[in-house]
Structure 1
Amino acid sequence: MTPPTQHPLYPIFEVEYDDQHRAHILSDNDAEVSLPPLRPRTHTRAHQWDERYAPYIRRVSFLELVRVVNHGLSPLDTTLLTTAVDRWRPKTHTFHLPCGEMTLTLQDVNAILGLRLRGLPVTGIVDNDHWRELVAQFTGFLPPNDDASKKNKKSSGVSLSWITERFDYLDPQAEETLIDRFARMWL
């Protein structure tokens, strides 16, 4: 395999980069262009964390990950983030670096997020026709049937606003079954 050819003006770029890559803005324009660094985008939490969820989430070995998600993103170096995005190649799912290609492995995810690599997979049967009943079985609430609505483009799944409406606040006097249902919203 021959190594990629470097761009004559921008040695960090390869000549054969994706057509939609933001590096085209730099190399294809005659005028000097200054691209701002990328910023991370996050979603707001759908509902508030309650320590009563911990035993239920620990039961499926996701407590540490949920605590990381609940805490939010740590401050990121936007220049480093921009560089990582510029070097990412979606076709091969690798970073193209001057020293060669690099990819993230399951072991990397394990080290970063603390997720176990051994054990049974956490999956389920996907049934697009009866997903609403499955949501009702796990949460106790039947989601609305939005099939009639033209503005909803999702084939299945509940909206974040629906989750927030029902699971934003857990009553301090809530029974164990309700605490279990609220904890499922974190998984």
Structure 2
Amino acid sequence: MSKQEEKNPQHRYSWLTSIRLTIISFGYAYRANILSLFMGILFGYLMSHAGATTFDYHAEMFLLTDLQLMKVIGTAVVVAMIGVSLLKKFHINSITTGTEVDFVKKPYQQGLIAGAFLFGIGWAMTASCPGTVPAMLGEGKISALFTLIGLLLGTMAYGVLQTFIASQGRYGDVLKD
């Protein structure tokens, strides 16, 4: 190889082909993330279109004056039940990993009822479900930022509490001190 070739090596492909191959390899390497992004955008759009990102619909649902949002939630539950049963029946493989979709039943945990109660109180107080917060932020509803901060603090508190309980023993021990 000459000194000129060492200073200015020739690429195997043209720059256009190199860009195309880079985009293809990027898409292949990040296909799960790209698919998740598009599914998240679609989910947010559908929630917004159904009114699930409107504070008034949440408040009216909890006041039992308008059950539109309850109908949306009920429809989502029915569709999810049908989808999960079909996934189990036909042993469907995951799009991203190619492995069979597995549904592992989680054991009951002490404190689940109290956590569900706190979840419901938070939902009623903020008039926003945690799943709708990113879509609300996407719509420009800045008040959803406070709900997001509360979600993050609550998640952090849960992690700290679980770590404490794991090192100390039981939930009852937490309340004795």
Tell me: higher relative CO, structure 1 or 2? Use CA pairs within 8 A at least 6 residues apart: 1
Write 1 or 2 for the structure with the bigger share of helix. 2
Task: Sort the TM-score into its range (normalised by shorter chain).
Answer: under 0.3
Larger of the two Rg values belongs to structure: 2
